[in-house]
C-alpha cells in the first residue's frame, strides 16, 4: 500500500520545522475538587491539598521536517492530543522545549465555536476570527469556502438547521481555506461521507505538494499509512517508535492485537 | 541541521506578560469585534422585538421600581424615574459586564483548550458588548427625561468621560473575578449574592440624602458609589464632578484596570490546564 521510499522524502536536507526537546507535560489532578475559598484556606493551612501529578507526556524528543506529513498514533489517552496542544501553543510544556519554525493553523474540532443561531455566513467569519484571520483574509476566501463546503443554498440559514455533515464540511472548509505552513489535524478526516473525505484528502495532498507540513492524529491507520511520510507511535506519554509508516503501524498493531 | 530562520514559537522564551497579552489582543481585534457582534445578534435572535429588549429591559425595571418606591422617595427626589434610571444603567452595565466576563471565559475555555487564542479576548469582548448595550440604553433614558419633563443640562457632555471610567473599572474587575472563577468555580455563584448586596449598598434606588452621616465614610469606600456619581451629577444635578468627586472614581478605574489586567495575564498560562 505504501510506496513511499526513503529517497522521495529526503531529496533535500531535512529542515526542521517543529522540534520537541525532552518535552514533558503534567496535569494536576487534585485528589478532590476544592471549590470554595474557605475550604482552600483551611486545607492550605492544614497542608492537606494533595495534588496528584499526572504526566501526559514524558521526555518526548522528535523533529518534524518541513514539507512532511507526520502522523501520530496511539491508544486513547496516550498523549497524542496533548502533544498537538504543546506544539500549537495551547499548553506550555512543564519541562523541555518546543520550537516551531512556521505559522500553525490548528484545525478546531469541526464546528467548535460555531453559534447555532448565526447563519453559515456569519459563522464563517466568526470561526475564521477564532483561527486568527482578519476580515480581509476571510473575505478573500469566502466564496471558495462556500463552494468547497457545497452549501450555496444554505449559507444564509442558521447553522442549527444544518445536518452534522454540513456542519463538518463548513468547519473543514473554513479551517483549510488558507494554506498554512503547518496544518494540525486531530482526528478530523474521519468525518463526512466518502465523497467529502476524498475531497479533504485531495486538499491535503495539494497542501503537501505546495510545501505545507501536516501533522495528523488519527485512528484510521490505513489512511495514515497511505498519507504520511513518517509516523510516531505514542504510548503512555512516551514515544515507542518513530519511522516508516508501515513499520510503525505494524509494530503498533502487533502490540495491540 | 540547525535552522537559521527565526522560530515563530519557542516555548523556552515564551512568557505571557501584561504587555505581550495586549499586543496579542491587538492582533486578534477582528475576533474581538466578531465576538461582540455575535453576543449582540444572538442574545435576542429568536425574540420578536430583538435588540429593542436592550432598551425595554431597564425601562421595565425602572417602571417597577418607580411604582414601588415613589411613595417613599418622591418627596426627596424630584424626577425620581430619571434618578432611578440613571443609576440603574450604571449598575446594569457593571453587573452584566462582569457576569459576562465570567461566563465568557468559561465558554471560551473549551476553545482555549484546543487552539491558541489570547484568553483576555473573552473578558474584553464581554465588556465591549455591555458597552454597546449601555449606549443603546441611553435612548430610553432620554425618552424618560422627555416624558418626565426633566431638564437637559450641558453637563451631560461629560458623560463620555464617565462611561470611560466605568468601562475601565468594570473591565478590570471583570477580568479579576473571571480569573478567580476559573480556579474556584463557587466564585461565580457567590458573586451573584455579592452583587445583590452590593447593589443595595450603593445609592441606586434610594437618594443619597437618606444615608446618615455616620455611615457615609463606609459608602465612600465603595467604588460603585463613585461610578454612579459620575453619571448622576451631570445627568441629574446638572454639574460636572468636582475634583474631589472625580479623583476617587479615576483612581478606582485606573487602579482596578491595572490590577485586573496584571492579575489576569499572570494566570493566563494556566487557563488551558484549568478551565
**Predicted confidence band of residue B191 (pLDDT cuts 50, 70, 90):** very high
Domain for residue A94, yes or no? yes
Give the closest-approach CA distance of A92 to chain B in angstroms: 7
State phi, psi for B131 to the nearest 5 degrees: -65, -45
Considering only the beta carbons, identify the residue of B10, B33, B115 that sits closest to A90.
B115
Domain for residue A150, yes or no? no
CA-wise closest residue to B3 among A190, A80, A65, A231:
A65
Q: Which of A1-5, B15-19, B29-33, B267-271 has the lowest mean pLDDT?
A: A1-5
Q: Which of A37-41, B29-33, B192-196 has the lowest mean pLDDT?
A: A37-41
* Burial profile A145-158: b = 16 or more Cβ within 10 angstroms, e = fewer: bbebbbbeebbeeb
Measured distance CA(B65)–CA(B171) in Å, rounded: 28
Would the pLDDT of A241 be above 50?
yes
Question: Edge-to-edge strands of the sheet including A213-217?
Answer: A104-106, A182-186, A213-217, A69-73, A230-235, A238-243
Domain for residue A1, yes or no? no
Average pLDDT score over residue span A58-63? 92
Domain for residue B248, yes or no? yes
**Predicted confidence band of residue B4 (pLDDT cuts 50, 70, 90):** low
Domain for residue B1, yes or no? no
What is the per-residue pLDDT for A200? 84
Strand segments (E) across A78-126: 95-100, 104-106
Domain for residue B14, yes or no? no
Measured distance CA(B158)–CA(B144) in Å, rounded: 20
Residue among A53, A81, A99, A103 with most chain B CBs within 10 A, to mutate = A99
Domain for residue B6, yes or no? no
Domain for residue B224, yes or no? yes
- Residue B140: which domain range? 20-274
- Per DSSP bridges, beta strands A16-30 and B9-10 are unpaired
For residue A27, what is the domain's CATH number? 3.40.50.300
Measured distance CA(A102)–CA(A97) in Å, rounded: 16
CA dihedral B140, B226, B39, B58 (to 10 degrees): -30
As beta bridge partners, residue A231 has A71, A243
**Number of structural domains chain A divides into:** 1
Collect all residues of chain B within an 8 Å Cβ-Cβ radius of residue A122: 38, 41
State phi, psi for B64 to the nearest 5 degrees: -65, -50
pLDDT digits (tens, 9 = 90+) for A91-135: 999 999 999 998 888 777 766 788 888 999 999 999 999 988 999
pLDDT digits (tens, 9 = 90+) for B145-182: 999 888 999 999 999 999 999 999 999 999 999 999 99
What is the per-residue pLDDT for A36? 66
Interface residue B117 vs chain A (CB under 8 A): yes
HSE value, Cβ hemisphere, 13 Å, CA-based, for B237: 13
Domain for residue A131, yes or no? no
Domain for residue A168, yes or no? no
Average pLDDT score over residue span A41-70? 81
Collect all residues of chain A within an 8 Å Cβ-Cβ radius of residue B193: none
Domain for residue A160, yes or no? no
CA distances from A55 to A74, A237, B112, B140, B269 (A): 16, 7, 20, 57, 18
Domain for residue B132, yes or no? yes
- Would you call B261 exposed, middle or buried from its count of C-beta atoms within 10 A (0-12, 13-18, 19+)? buried
Average pLDDT score over residue span A30-35? 58
Would the pLDDT of A27 be above 90?
no
Higher-pLDDT residue of A201 and B162 is B162
Higher-pLDDT residue of A153 and A105 is A153
Domain for residue A170, yes or no? no
Provide ipTM, 2 decimals. 0.84
Rounded to two decimals, the pTM is: 0.87
Is B11 close to A122, i.e. CB distance below 8 A?
no
Contacts of A212 (CB under 8 A, 6+ apart): A67, A179, A180, A181, A182, A183
**Number of structural domains chain B divides into:** 1
Domain for residue A129, yes or no? no
Percent share of chain A, pLDDT over 70: 84
**Predicted confidence band of residue B62 (pLDDT cuts 50, 70, 90):** confident
Would the pLDDT of A10 be above 60?
no
Would the pLDDT of B254 be above 90?
yes
CA-wise closest residue to B168 among B231, B255, B266:
B255
Domain for residue B15, yes or no? no
Measured distance CA(A129)–CA(A119) in Å, rounded: 15
CA dihedral B87, B90, B93, B95 (to 10 degrees): -70
Domain for residue B143, yes or no? yes
- Residue A91: which domain range? 6-107+176-255
Amino acid at each position: 500500500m505504501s510506496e513511499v521510499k526513503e529517497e522521495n522524502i529526503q531529496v533535500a536536507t531535512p529542515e526542521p520545522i517543529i522540534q520537541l526537546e525532552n518535552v514533558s507535560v503534567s496535569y494536576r489532578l487534585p485528589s478532590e475538587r476544592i471549590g470554595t475559598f474557605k475550604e482552600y484556606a483551611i486545607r492550605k493551612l492544614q497542608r492537606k491539598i494533595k495534588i496528584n501529578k499526572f504526566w501526559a507526556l514524558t521526555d518526548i524528543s522528535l523533529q518534524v521536517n518541513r514539507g512532511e506529513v507526520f502522523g501520530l498514533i496511539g491508544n486513547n489517552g496516550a498523549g497524542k492530543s496533548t502533544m498537538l496542544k504543546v506544539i500549537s501553543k495551547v499548553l506550555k510544556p512543564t519541562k523541555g522545549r518546543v520550537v516551531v519554525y512556521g505559522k500553525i493553523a490548528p484545525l478546531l474540532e469541526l464546528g467548535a465555536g460555531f453559534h447555532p443561531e448565526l447563519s453559515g455566513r456569519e459563522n464563517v467569519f466568526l470561526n475564521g476570527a477564532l483561527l486568527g484571520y482578519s476580515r480581509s483574509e476571510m473575505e478573500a476566501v469566502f466564496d471558495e469556502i462556500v463552494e468547497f463546503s457545497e452549501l450555496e443554498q444554505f449559507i444564509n440559514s442558521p447553522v442549527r438547521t444544518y445536518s452534522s455533515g454540513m456542519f463538518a464540511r463548513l468547519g473543514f472548509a473554513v479551517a483549510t481555506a488558507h494554506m498554512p505552513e503547518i496544518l494540525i489535524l486531530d482526528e478530523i478526516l474521519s468525518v463526512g461521507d466518502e465523497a467529502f473525505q476524498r475531497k479533504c484528502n485531495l486538499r491535503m495532498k495539494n497542501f503537501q505538494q505546495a510545501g505545507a507540513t501536516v501533522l495528523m492524529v488519527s485512528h484510521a491507520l490505513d489512511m495514515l499509512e497511505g498519507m504520511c511520510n513518517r509516523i510516531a507511535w505514542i504510548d503512555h506519554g512516551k514515544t515507542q517508535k518513530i519511522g516508516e509508516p508501515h513499520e510503525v503501524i505494524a509494530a503498533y498493531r502487533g502490540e495491540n492485537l | 541541521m540547525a535552522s537559521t530562520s527565526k522560530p515563530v514559537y519557542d516555548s523556552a522564551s515564551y512568557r505571557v506578560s501584561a504587555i505581550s497579552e495586549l499586543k496579542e489582543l491587538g492582533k486578534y481585534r477582528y475576533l474581538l469585534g466578531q465576538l461582540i457582534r455575535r453576543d449582540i445578534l444572538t442574545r435576542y435572535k429568536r425574540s420578536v422585538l430583538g435588540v429593542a429588549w436592550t432598551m425595554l429591559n431597564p425601562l421595565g425595571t425602572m417602571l417597577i421600581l418607580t411604582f414601588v418606591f415613589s411613595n417613599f422617595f418622591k418627596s426627596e427626589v424630584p424626577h425620581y424615574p430619571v434618578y432611578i434610571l440613571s443609576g440603574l444603567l450604571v449598575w446594569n452595565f457593571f453587573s452584566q459586564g462582569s457576569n459576562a466576563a465570567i461566563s465568557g471565559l468559561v465558554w471560551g475555555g473549551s476553545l482555549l483548550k484546543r487552539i491558541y487564542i489570547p484568553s483576555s479576548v473573552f473578558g474584553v469582548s464581554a465588556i465591549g458588548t455591555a458597552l454597546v448595550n449601555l449606549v443603546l440604553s441611553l435612548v430610553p433614558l432620554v425618552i424618560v427625561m422627555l416624558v418626565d419633563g426633566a431638564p437637559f443640562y450641558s453637563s451631560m457632555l461629560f458623560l463620555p468621560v464617565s462611561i470611560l471610567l466605568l468601562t475601565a473599572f468594570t473591565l478590570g474587575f471583570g477580568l479579576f473575578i473571571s480569573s478567580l472563577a476559573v480556579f474556584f468555580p463557587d466564585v461565580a455563584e457567590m458573586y451573584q449574592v455579592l452583587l445583590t448586596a452590593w447593589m443595595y449598598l450603593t445609592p441606586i434606588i434610594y437618594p443619597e440624602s437618606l444615608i446618615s452621616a455616620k455611615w457615609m465614610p463606609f459608602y465612600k469606600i465603595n467604588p460603585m458609589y463613585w461610578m454612579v456619581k459620575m453619571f448622576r451629577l451631570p445627568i441629574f444635578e446638572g454639574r460636572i464632578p468636582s475634583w474631589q468627586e472625580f479623583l476617587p472614581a479615576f483612581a478606582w478605574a485606573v487602579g482596578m484596570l491595572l490590577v485586573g489586567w496584571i492579575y489576569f495575564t499572570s494566570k493566563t498560562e494556566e487557563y488551558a490546564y484549568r478551565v
